[in-house]
Structure 1
């Protein structure tokens, strides 16, 4: 069946299999199933709403509300709830049950959830078993890293989102690699720079869709090749002579290499998606997966739909940023979890949670809770027996199934922050993810801005918050001129405040970063980390699928290459004939 999205008014399809999943994930209490309804938002608007609640890259100086010490946090000091440093948040000095309250059937659930949320301490950063990674967020088991986000098992990495990497700078979903610079959606690279969609290779520069190859420059769509420049074969001596004569630390040389690579991309066929070893799927960047639909950046997944950034997930829909889980619905940010719905930032052995956030360490069977550890059978952070929990939760769900007007909750002369919002004046709460008004972040702070870009006026019109940039501490000192060639750059650049040539934002070059540029013969960037990140994102195809035909054989394909794009797009078989 088709429905009109309540948010954007576009029609979207709900299949029979979708309805079976909603039935499968619906909770059962005392022998009665409480049916999760079909969504009212289309898949894109559902994802945008989930992403608007997640901030990865915007960090602030503030004080720990327990100790008063200065810390780095993803939460600005203006956030309504207490924020604790990592050590204090994981300590036994406080208990999330202290924020608990009785459920009030005269109020909406979302309003009461916000009341508990605003009383409960939050951890300053999502950080797990890291060493010397104070400026990193959503990072685990890493050491000596700086401004990396959404990463795990990394060492000496700066700026980006590496995974199982060492000595890598400016990456975007780079995996299992070492000594790499400006590499995007690539795997198992060594000593490579400015590469995208490459794998199992070393000593590549400015390459695109190159696999199992070594010592190549400005090549596209090669496999098992060596000593190639612009897809032309050279001898080892010829290749090394050209490489040695080229100054890759010169910004003008880099611009020219980019230009030549982009021209070559239009001449070489491209597979309609990036991925390997999949069965029955649609999306992009999918590996070793089965029955995986409308999904992006997934590995070892099965029976999932409308997902992004997933590893080893089964039987789930409409979720993002997850690892090792099953039976997840409308969740954002989870790890080692099962049977959870409408949750964000809940991880580490959590099960059977509904409408929870920031719960961890084997917290199970909770409803509407925030910041709990090692807890069971809680509602709004209040402890219940199993028997009372299973009596009260159905009553709350029944209330949430009825259309509840959010207006006019008035407090202190001010309208509730939940007044209206992206769900409208009146709506059944059960089956909907948290409304945009719940998010503590401005839309431009959230990861939603990366995939669903809005201007300030557009965001406010859609009921999202907006965080205006604080310019009060802008540097007023003399401008530092960056030398064009790395050989001419002096050590004092690490003490300088630099200004981005595109955005005007301030940034620094840390000493470890400078050593890397010298080792790899790379230029010092003239753009701030955020601008470099935005430019890497822009090199990707959009997370959208078009129905097209292979430009070689005519076979039907679903691809991220829009029909208006100039690239030669082909099916798997035709691509294999061209490349392999």
Structure 2
């Protein structure tokens, strides 16, 4: 862990925080928000000294919940143009109070016109909240303009609908999926074609219901499989063919059984999904799904070094602790971060894109250097508490200053914040633009409504503030009234209601055509619930120690919502099990 060394621009703050850091000792702490106890270690103190910040009063889990309350998992709403009232499809919930503009309109504006004087004696987060609720943010945050698509944070989508952080073609309802074509319900996967309901898999073709698989074709209901084909229900398999729920069959018998299972029937589909869940639950799980990385690095970490409590960390990453979704470009030397890529020396925030020395990022700051408490800023340097700026330097609350005046004010502000106990903490959940129940704090970290309230969340219903759109009063059809088998003509153009999600939804014609092509009954859940179910099958970024259920050695494993009681082996026992069973 390298210290950030530069000439002091804020001497008074530096002197004040040094006194705090010099007196800091390891020991048990109690989170002032949730009451959770944690052990502040020398390593944690080292991060505070590296970034020259005071210690947090919140536990690491609380900090990750606060950061991830802003994380866009998979929610799409109608928001509204702040001037015309025209509906805009966005990942920002209108009841959050955050305003949005279409990307092309947003990037043509200069939001320094919203600049305001800092009030040193007024609570900082009150002032910052006012600015965050005044300056619009992009509705889509697309990095590459999608073609004929409804896409968000797009890396180049074509003819795809409701995909987030993807590079796809003709794909429906995807998240963090790259080079994916003709597929629906896909997450954290690469090179997937003609498939459905795929989680953390690569090089998949013509497959249904796949988890943790690699180079598999013409198969359904796979978990932890490699180089398999023509399998229907297989777990922990390598180079297998013609398996039927792990039973070896001849080619002829397998094809006969497969012909008898018609997944275009909704009841049959549900029956086999349940059988598959039971099979996965009874299977052997490795202590983690990491590849070529340090012991106890976290979960879903690949070819990275010095990772602690990492989650979905891409190859080449170094010295990133308590991070999630550090992908697709490697990052380094960062702490308490979510959604970080190609960045270094970042601290306690969300959405660091090709940034350096950025702290308390509230959402998607790109190509930033030395930013603090900023939101949706692009190509900016040396800015504090700014929203929506582009190619700016030395701005405070969106107001332009000379370099000398900027540093004088920042020094005064940080001293005032430090004295009030504000500096060093992330904004509470009331800053979030997301529907609280579907945010990363709940879906990834398992925060309860009570815990979210303690962390300041605004509790509202999904349909508030017109989030369901201008046709919210349309006639709704209860899915329980729909026949077991339905045609595209019976579904397209109709509005259905998901009583669990408390949301309405419709099917896209292209989506239904894909299900017909795959000979699969359409799902009967709101699209957000479909993606949430995929998340619930993944391991969580919450870790615990248990004994290996083969040899008894202590191992660190991630929790899992869907499979809380699993048979988990340490790495060596797991590899031995694979050798003996393949």
For the criterion TM > 0.5, the same-fold answer is yes
Contact in 2 for aligned 1:56/1:74 (Cα 8 Å)? no
Cα 1:82/1:510, change in 2 over 3 Å: closer
User: What residue in structure 1 maps to residue 119 of structure 2?
Assistant: 104
User: What residue in structure 1 maps to residue 549 of structure 2?
Assistant: 551
Cα 1:245/1:298, change in 2 over 3 Å: same
User: What residue in structure 1 maps to residue 45 of structure 2?
Assistant: 19
Q: Secondary structure at the match of 1:192?
A: strand
Residue 69 of structure 2 is aligned to residue 52 of structure 1? yes
User: What residue in structure 1 maps to residue 318 of structure 2?
Assistant: 302
Q: How far is 1:483 from its partner?
A: 4.1
User: What residue in structure 2 maps to residue 43 of structure 1?
Assistant: 60
Cα shift readout 1:64-102 (whole Å, capped 9, x = no counterpart)? 3356644223345556565321111011xx312111112
Residue 170 of structure 2 is aligned to residue 156 of structure 1? yes
Contact in 2 for aligned 1:130/1:143 (Cα 8 Å)? no
Cα shift readout 1:314-344 (whole Å, capped 9, x = no counterpart)? 1111111121111111111121111111012
Cα 1:139/1:252, change in 2 over 3 Å: same
Q: Secondary structure at the match of 2:405?
A: helix
Contact in 1 for aligned 2:336/2:348 (Cα 8 Å)? yes
Runs of 4+ aligned residues of structure 1 deviating over 6 Å after TM superposition are none
- Work out the CA distance in 1 between the residues paired with 2:240 and 2:270: 25
Residue 36 of structure 2 is aligned to residue 10 of structure 1? yes
User: What residue in structure 1 maps to residue 469 of structure 2?
Assistant: none
How many residues get paired? 541
Cα 1:354/1:565, change in 2 over 3 Å: closer
User: What residue in structure 2 maps to residue 336 of structure 1?
Assistant: 354
- Work out the CA distance in 2 between the residues paired with 1:80 and 1:498: 27
- Work out the CA distance in 1 between the residues paired with 2:381 and 2:442: 32
User: What residue in structure 1 maps to residue 474 of structure 2?
Assistant: 475
1:82-97 aligned at under 5 Å gives the runs: 82-91=99-108, 94-97=109-112
Contact in 2 for aligned 1:57/1:137 (Cα 8 Å)? no
User: What residue in structure 1 maps to residue 423 of structure 2?
Assistant: 430
Return the TM-score normalized by structure 1.
0.87
Q: How far is 1:562 from its partner?
A: 8.0
Q: How far is 1:478 from its partner?
A: 6.0
1:270-419 aligned at under 5 Å gives the runs: 270-300=285-315, 301-311=317-327, 312-360=330-378, 362-403=379-420
- Work out the CA distance in 2 between the residues paired with 1:96 and 1:284: 40
5+ residue gaps, structure 1, are 27-35, 404-427
User: What residue in structure 2 maps to residue 573 of structure 1?
Assistant: 572
Cα 1:503/1:82, change in 2 over 3 Å: closer
Q: 1:465 aligns with which of 458, 465, 474?
A: 458
Cα 1:118/1:450, change in 2 over 3 Å: same
Contact in 2 for aligned 1:174/1:187 (Cα 8 Å)? yes
Q: 1:203 aligns with which of 211, 214, 218?
A: 218
Between stretches 519-528 and 442-451, larger displacement belongs to: 442-451
Return the TM-score normalized by structure 2.
0.86
Cα 1:553/1:245, change in 2 over 3 Å: same
5+ residue gaps, structure 2, are 1-25, 467-471
Residue 459 of structure 2 is aligned to residue 444 of structure 1? no
Q: Secondary structure at the match of 2:153?
A: strand
Q: Please tell me the root mean square deviation across aligned C-alpha atoms, in Å.
A: 2.6
User: What residue in structure 2 maps to residue 268 of structure 1?
Assistant: 283
Cα 1:561/1:223, change in 2 over 3 Å: farther
Contact in 1 for aligned 2:196/2:209 (Cα 8 Å)? yes
- Work out the CA distance in 1 between the residues paired with 2:342 and 2:426: 22
Cα 1:320/1:133, change in 2 over 3 Å: farther
- Work out the CA distance in 1 between the residues paired with 2:273 and 2:573: 27
Between stretches 134-143 and 455-464, larger displacement belongs to: 455-464
Contact in 1 for aligned 2:70/2:363 (Cα 8 Å)? no
- Work out the CA distance in 2 between the residues paired with 1:561 and 1:54: 20
Cα shift readout 1:432-477 (whole Å, capped 9, x = no counterpart)? 0112333354523533232355666664455310122438824336
Cα 1:243/1:81, change in 2 over 3 Å: closer
User: What residue in structure 2 maps to residue 413 of structure 1?
Assistant: none
- Work out the CA distance in 2 between the residues paired with 1:562 and 1:310: 20
Cα 1:58/1:467, change in 2 over 3 Å: farther
Q: How far is 1:490 from its partner?
A: 3.9
- Work out the CA distance in 2 between the residues paired with 1:562 and 1:170: 20
Higher normalized contact order (CA 8 Å, seq sep 6+, divided by chain length) = 2
